[in-house]
Amino acid sequence: MNHAFTIEELRDLHEFACKLARTAGAYLRNDQIRRRRIALGTEEKLNSVDLVTAADKSVERLIRDSVKDRYPEHSFIGEESYSAGQEKRFLLRDDPTWIVDPVDGTVNMVHMFPMVAISVGFCMNSIPTVGVVFAPFLGGDGTLYSAIHHPEGGAWMAEYGAHGPLTELPLITPPPPLPEDAPKGCLFFGEWGKDRRDSPQSNLSKKATNFVNMATEIGGRGGKGSMVHGIRSLGSSTMDMVFVASGQGDIMFEAGCWEWDVCAAIAILLQTGGIVVDSNPPADLGDNDPIPMANIGGRRYLAIRGCSEDPKGRSSREQQERVVREVWKKTERLNYQRPL
Amino acid sequence: MNHAFTIEELRDLHEFACKLARTAGAYLRNDQIRRRRIALGTEEKLNSVDLVTAADKSVERLIRDSVKDRYPEHSFIGEESYSAGQEKRFLLRDDPTWIVDPVDGTVNMVHMFPMVAISVGFCMNSIPTVGVVFAPFLGGDGTLYSAIHHPEGGAWMAEYGAHGPLTELPLITPPPPLPEDAPKGCLFFGEWGKDRRDSPQSNLSKKATNFVNMATEIGGRGGKGSMVHGIRSLGSSTMDMVFVASGQGDIMFEAGCWEWDVCAAIAILLQTGGIVVDSNPPADLGDNDPIPMANIGGRRYLAIRGCSEDPKGRSSREQQERVVREVWKKTERLNYQRPL
């Protein structure tokens, strides 16, 4: 079934999502101020993990209730959609569906490190179509990234509060070509993750190998050295993806996160001309086959920023697919999956 | 020779340094807007590395000239102090000395990733005494961290521009104890750096080993697994140190950077009760010897945030030194040094 929305309907929906994310952000900021007061002894003591878990649940409830109220006919997927049972089957269908992460970067939130994001995504026909990512602790007013993925849509960064000026994304428009020998010269984002097992086959070991391959000089590591310009780990896959979407980074390679961590950021990425594919190469993909988009619920994501035709006449897509294949060649397969 | 300043003199100096850092930050923001315009084809094309190098030099000149004008009798150390010759001997003496990095995180600046800092430090008697770190791209107004390291001083975060409200640092006051089994449970900051040689003895290999030891479950890696809560790499050692100083992180372990990258942040760290020591254990240090402060020009830094007495009655210093020794046990020595 094809669910078509007019651009006006999408603009309303985007505005609603931006307000919702800002309301949730204000809640998180107040919650942090409350935590500071607790530390000063004016409220009962709770440990910071409990406090953040409680904030996470409150914000998810707030967002879910607001969406149900405004769009009662839409579906809703959040972490809580899965928390009741063992079933982790991917729930996204073609009907209009909100995919929300109330707090991405909970470890950061516990430690008050500001890379924390509220991620509000909206899909139709299983495609991320509206995305709002609000980082309430990046600057006093927070920083809001958003997009309507549509020919008449757009993508924006708002650093000056709800009524301040907007910056169009990507930050450089049109975006520059990718570096000629990319991933060499790229800013690469990835996370260490929660799988900490000490085994050569663990995701931790493979992620370490991948980081070292990406960092090492060209010619090193048996040809896998890629000499990226820098490796960044922020502790929030939402923020990793958003920086690539906005043109403030080049490559995001991350597995283990879930659709609510990336859905909103993917809408922004798509609107700015970026691509996202599976971080493991599909088994039956030929060298000249077009590379399919990542499954939104597949838990493995390799995103490349938007770019313009390069001096050799390679199209944006050609450059991006070349970089994808280079990264695949130089990284180990990660072991995260999902019944689909 | 002992150089004493009154608290009033230090407050003047702090205010001057804050204004200077904000002026430099406005320059960098304008420069970024100019780069976006160049991309749009309205100015001649230059590559982004050249542009950032030029901005770096302009800002260093601006800061150096302003300091010379206001405090002609003070010494000044910046990257350019060393660029003329091969001599890398550490220049800090006991006289009043400014130590400045016009742009920390130049790779980030090239890619427009917002972890970029202007670092303005002031030492007397070789101790960082006033520190101002301005991150002009963190929020629309930028985020300014600063401190006067003095019994009547203080430490602050300013997220709302030059005239907005200040937040006292550390963010939680008094700061909570360190986690009982720290580094387990800590937020750990470190960088991959620029040494990318493919050799088991390279700093890259050792840094990778250290990251994996820190991340791995307790009991793993032959007892070196430390199960930190998360590892963060921001591409700016100034920002890594500032987040630990402000209580937005717990441990910063980084070698290879220079005094201008950390001097200002160390002033903030010291004022908030944090410590900074050599990231390699001093050769002749006994198990019960007090751990000396890092040499400001030593290029190896292990910083631990301020904390309060813990439930076992361990003092702040006892907890911090215990964590230092644990990190030393679980990390490889890095090969960066400096003729002193």
Q: Average pLDDT per run of 10 along chain B, which is 340 residues long?
A: 84 98 96 78 59 87 97 90 63 90 94 97 96 98 98 97 96 93 97 94 96 97 97 98 98 95 98 98 94 94 97 96 98 86
* Chain A residue closest in CA terms to B173: A40
Give B233-275 pLDDT, tens digit per residue: 999 999 999 999 999 999 999 999 999 999 999 999 999 999 9
Mutate to test the interface with A, among B178, B212, B251, B310 (most CBs of A within 10 A): B212
Among B111, B196, B221, select the one facing A187 at the smallest CB separation.
Answer: B111
- pLDDT the model gives residue A4: 84
- pLDDT the model gives residue B126: 92
* Complete DSSP assignment for B192-253: --S----STTSHHHHHHHHHHHHHSPTTTGGGT----SEEEB-S-HHHHHHHHHTTS-SEEE
Q: How far B284 CA lies from chain A's nearest CA (Å)?
A: 33
**In one letter, which amino acid is B215?**
A
* Chain A residue numbers touching B164 (CB-CB < 8 A): 140
Report mean pLDDT in 10-residue bins for chain A, 340 residues: 84 98 96 78 59 87 97 90 62 90 94 97 96 98 98 97 96 93 97 94 96 97 97 98 98 95 98 98 94 94 97 96 98 86
- pLDDT the model gives residue A49: 73
Among A139, A176, A233, select the one facing B232 at the smallest CB separation.
Answer: A233
Is residue A11 a contact partner of residue A147, using CB atoms and an 8 Å limit?
no
- pLDDT the model gives residue A44: 47
Task: Please give the domain boundaries of chain A with CATH numbers for all domains.
Answer: 7-168 (3.30.540.10), 187-329 (3.40.190.80)
- pLDDT the model gives residue A78: 86
* Chain A residue numbers touching B196 (CB-CB < 8 A): 215-217, 220, 225, 227
Reading the block at residue A148, the tokens are: 């309507």
- pLDDT the model gives residue A39: 64
* Chain A residue numbers touching B112 (CB-CB < 8 A): 171-172, 247-248
Judge residue B305's burial from the number of C-beta atoms within 10 Å of its C-beta, 0-12 exposed, 13-18 middle, 19 or more buried: buried
* Chain B residue numbers touching A232 (CB-CB < 8 A): 113, 115, 233-235
- pLDDT the model gives residue B83: 60
User: Interface pTM (ipTM) of the complex?
Assistant: 0.95
Give A42-95 pLDDT, tens digit per residue: 444 556 777 778 888 999 999 999 999 999 999 999 877 766 555 567 778 899
3-class SS shares of chain B: helix, strand, coil, % to 5: 35, 20, 45
Number of Cβ atoms within 10 Å of the Cβ of B48: 16
**In one letter, which amino acid is B49?**
V
Counting Cα atoms < 13 Å in the Cβ hemisphere of A26 gives 9
User: Could you give the 3-state DSSP secondary structure of residue A196?
Assistant: coil
Q: How far A261 CA lies from chain B's nearest CA (Å)?
A: 17
